[in-house]
Amino acid sequence: MYKLCGSCLKRLGLQGKPEKCELCGNIFEKIDVLLDFTYDAEFFNFNVGVKLDPETLEKEKKIIEELNLSGEKTLKRELLSVLRKKLKEKFNKEIEMEDPDVIFIFDLKKFKVIPENNSLYI
């Protein structure tokens, strides 16, 4: 059996004792630290992107296949949901899926946040 944190156990619909996570490295416990790397500049709306290393994606795929799970709530999808919610609370700004003023890219392999601003041409 795989060693998974409480967040991954719950997300995958599995029972077990939460442990140091082989899949996400307990990233959900470090979300607030990552959020400290974001800043509130001049923007009205935002979106979030997440970069995961290919090994993590493959490991998750393997777990889903081996345990015959649905795979509906992937790690990436859950991270996007949590990060969007927390940033919306932090900045009190709206999430814009189509054409955001800024996209916060969370690079989890390098543990950094890269803001990408959409340029406004006048």
Q: At what angle do helices 75-91 and 54-66 cross, to 10 degrees?
A: 120
- Contact between 56 and 113 under an 8 Å Cβ cutoff? The reply is no
Note the pLDDT of residue 10: 93
Per-run averaged pLDDT (10 residues), the chain, 122 residues: 93 93 95 89 93 95 90 91 97 95 95 86 51
In the sheet with 94-95, reading across from the earlier edge strand, the strands are 94-95, 45-51, 102-107, 112-117
Report the amino acid identity of residue 87.
Answer: L
Report the amino acid identity of residue 5.
Answer: C
Q: What's the Cα-to-Cα distance from 120 to each of 45, 56, 93, 100, rounded to whole Å?
A: 14, 36, 18, 11
pTM for this entry? 0.89
Note the pLDDT of residue 120: 59
